[in-house]
Amino acid sequence: MSDATDPWLIVGLGNPGPEYAANRHNVGFMVADLLAERIGGKFKRAPKAQAQVLEGRIGPPGPLSRRVVVAKPMSYMNLSGGPVTALRDFYKVPLDHVVAVHDELDIDYGTLRLKLGGGDNGHNGLKSMTKSMGPDYHRIRFGIGRPPGRMQVADFVLKDFSSTERKELAFLVDRAADSVECLLAEGLERAQSAYNS
């Protein structure tokens, strides 16, 4: 069992490279970047893992402050499990202290859902993580909605957010980052009641 002194590993899922930066599939990276900004540090290459990491603390000073490693795997999405498992081993993070922030097709755009464990719902990043570590980690699911018409899912997730969606994106990414902080400080149930919509 984990305890309050164990570090947390916050994993933003996405694809590396500037051509993917604004894709729907990269919303996990966007949340990780904002958390890094809040902590006040810069990502650096991870020791012993194909990832960028930032170590710091999240939450108010005192007993609610949590030691965190914010990470962006630098493999492609469908290979996320390898880097995440290497980071978990290196930083000695219990599985229930791993949080994956990712895009979710089956939820309306901008809606958040927090949960512990469960299936991968066809998400290749989660599929890879679950294969490497088992399913019992936290997920912060950021709704991107379903593709319009007959557009293929793969094409949809690898497209940038629409101009209408972009109007709200900064606010929604901010809210997702808030939900990470709430989860760490106050636990899953409190974070679910505050952020699950």
Quick check: 126 and 120 in contact, CB under 8 A? yes
25 is catalytic: yes
Query: What sign results for the dihedral spanned by CA atoms 21, 173, 47, 75?
Result: negative
Q: What is the chain written as a DSSP string?
A: ---TTS-EEEEE----SGGGTTBGGGHHHHHHHHHHHHHT---EEPTTSSEEEEEEEESSSSTT-EEEEEEEE-S-GGGTHHHHHHHHHHHT--GGGEEEEEEETTS-TT-EEEEES---TT-HHHHHHHHHH-S-SEEEEEE--PPSTT--HHHHHTSBPPHHHHHHHHHHHHHHHHHHHHHHHH-HHHHHHHH--
CA atoms within 13 A on the CB side of 92: 5
Of 25, 97, 123, 138, which is the active-site residue? 25
Catalytic positions are 25
